[in-house]
Amino acid sequence: MKEGYIGILTSGGDASGMNATIRAITRSAICNGYKVKGIYRGYEGLINDEIRELTTEDVSNIIQRGGTILKTARSKDFETPEGRKKAYEVMQKEKIHTLFVIGGDGSLTGARIFAQEYDVPCIGLPGTIDNDLWGTDLTIGYDTALNTIVECVDKIRDTATSHERIFFVEVMGRDAGFLAQNSAIASGAEAAIIPEDQTDTDQLEEFIGRGFRKTKNSSIVIVTESPTGKGANYYAERVKREYPQYDVRVTILGHLQRGGSPSAGDRILASRLGCASIQAMMEGQRNVMIGIRNDKVVYVPFAEAIKKNKPIDKSLITVLNELSI
């Protein structure tokens, strides 16, 4: 076996497929002669030395499990120079030479700063249901979350139709509308209100005028959660105020979207990216995110993955508009 260890952590919000990623990194590393240590509770666990060696047996029977066996946490201490210094000292003590970080934008931002300050080789893997990291077509957990939303909306549709209601269904995503737009298409929803479509003609008036008032007595509108308060409840209150003749309900799916057994797509993506991350390390790559583009593995510098905004395909808006008449 080669000297030292690689370290694996999961950070930020959990995403189905993280366990499949841990399994792939661990087994690919061991297959190529490396030893592996799992870091529990993300950067917080790195600071507090919550670390133990992982074997192939430790990652058996986890590919089908949601969440993360390594646990995850958001670490305020790691945001400070003192916290990162302690994390580096623990890495030295545990003889970890390369850090593998599975997470989203915030997790990779932490890895980038850490790598710059201490010249630590870091390799990121995109684990987030939001699908908002630039440079990769898909992120681990997105496909599972998307399918969960569609399954929920299918059930809500039965009630909406039976009671002739408008349902506003709020999904995760914050500044990215990938989940809302694609779940709206897949579930046959009448509209999606997303951050990227800010024509605000506005989106609610456009939906009411185009579809519901003309031909339909029930409708589903998918809304991306909003840090500014313009989520599903905001639009539902507007309808109640501006169109009191309609019966309106709100469903906020919340953390339902994060859990559950990962889809086949997420298991395959996680396995491919996990193996590719070990290959990247052996090639001398550092401070890159492993992504997938046009079904090919790519290495994306942290600076690009984090700082560039990933655009939504605006043609999807046209597709939904045409199919919701």
**CB contact set of 323 (below 8 Å; sequence gap of 6+):** 185, 188
Rounded to whole angstroms, how far apart are CA atoms 190 and 188?
7
**CB contact set of 27 (below 8 Å; sequence gap of 6+):** 56, 59
- CA 266 from chain centre, in angstroms, equals 11
**CB contact set of 182 (below 8 Å; sequence gap of 6+):** 146, 316
Question: If you write DSSP's letter for every residue of 125-171 in order, what string do you get?
Answer: EEB-TT---TT-S--BTHHHHHHHHHHHHHHHHHHHHHHT-EEEEEE
Please give the angle made by the CA atoms of 187, 191 and 196, to the nearest 5 degrees.
Answer: 110
Rounded to whole angstroms, how far apart are CA atoms 247 and 218?
9
Left, alpha or beta for 291 (phi > 0: left; psi -120 to 50: alpha)? Answer: beta
**CB contact set of 277 (below 8 Å; sequence gap of 6+):** 25, 28, 100, 123, 125, 290
**For residue 18, what is the enclosing H or E element?**
helix 18-31
Rounded to whole angstroms, how far apart are CA atoms 273 and 268?
9
Rounded to whole angstroms, how far apart are CA atoms 122 and 148?
32
Rounded to whole angstroms, how far apart are CA atoms 37 and 2?
14
> Which residues form the catalytic set?
130
| Residue type at position 240 | K
Rounded to whole angstroms, how far apart are CA atoms 280 and 37?
18
